[in-house]
Chains A and B, each alone.
Chain A
Amino acid sequence: AQSVTQPDIHITVSEGASLELRCNYSYGATPYLFWYVQSPGQGLQLLLKYFSGDTLVQGIKGFEAEFKRSQSSFNLRKPSVHWSDAAEYFCAVGERGSYIPTFGRGTSLIVHP
């Protein structure tokens, strides 16, 4: 069975600084990979996904993520963070032939002005 680790429970950055949120997965084959964002009091919204092909994936709100098979990672990046990016971020992995993704426990992003 697959698993997902988000090593950082909280990340604090200054507005305008760059951001990288880490995600590591455990899965034998090529996984489907997702990043979701949850703003306070809201449901989760998909930021981006990787199914196959180009390992650098562009998403909404200026986010991107890179699939690195050798490191079993799918880290989320943004070059310049805005105060509105403060939220909870979840990495998820799905396996081919299963309907159910596995979620990481989330990383809370705090943005200082």
Chain B
Amino acid sequence: NAGVTQTPKFQVLKTGQSMTLQCAQDMNHEYMSWYRQDPGMGLRLIHYSVGAGITDQGEVPNGYNVSRSTTEDFPLRLLSAAPSQTSVYFCASSPLLAGTTGELFFGEGSRLTVL
């Protein structure tokens, strides 16, 4: 019962470096999304996808790229890391219920520090 798996759990980067946060789910969910969580800010949506080949921007997309080549995987790329991207990142997936909001299944998070 893997559910949503995120790697790595911890990462330290220097300003300007790039990296990819991996997210995989084994529940055949069509909807996948990335959030960042910062103190006092709650969860903010970065990017989301409703199926392979389809992605869209959320509330805070700048500085991040995503792609969805398969149903299972939804990697998040930081192109040139900045200290403002220091955060905890969560991947979440959901089965689409007649095209509307369903329960989200979350990964355990990836804690990123940018120096």
Contacts and interface: CB of A to CB of B under 8 A. Distances in A.
A105 B58 contact: no
Interface stretch (B13-21, B72-80, B106-114): B106-114
Nearest to A97: B100
Most buried by A among B33, B100, B101: B101
Interface residues of A, number: 25
B45 interface: yes
B19 to A, nearest CB: 20
Given A44-B106, A99-B94, A106 B42 contact: yes
Interface residues of B, number: 26
Interface of B: 4, 31, 33, 40-43, 45, 48, 50, 58, 90, 92, 94, 96, 99-109
Interface of A: 9, 32, 34, 36, 41-46, 49, 90, 92, 94-101, 103-106
26 contacts: A9-B40, A32-B100, A34-B103, A34-B104, A36-B106, A41-B108, A42-B108, A43-B4, A44-B43, A44-B106, A45-B106, A46-B105, A90-B42, A94-B102, A95-B100, A95-B101, A96-B100, A98-B100, A99-B99, A99-B100, A99-B101, A103-B43, A104-B42, A105-B41, A105-B42, A106-B42
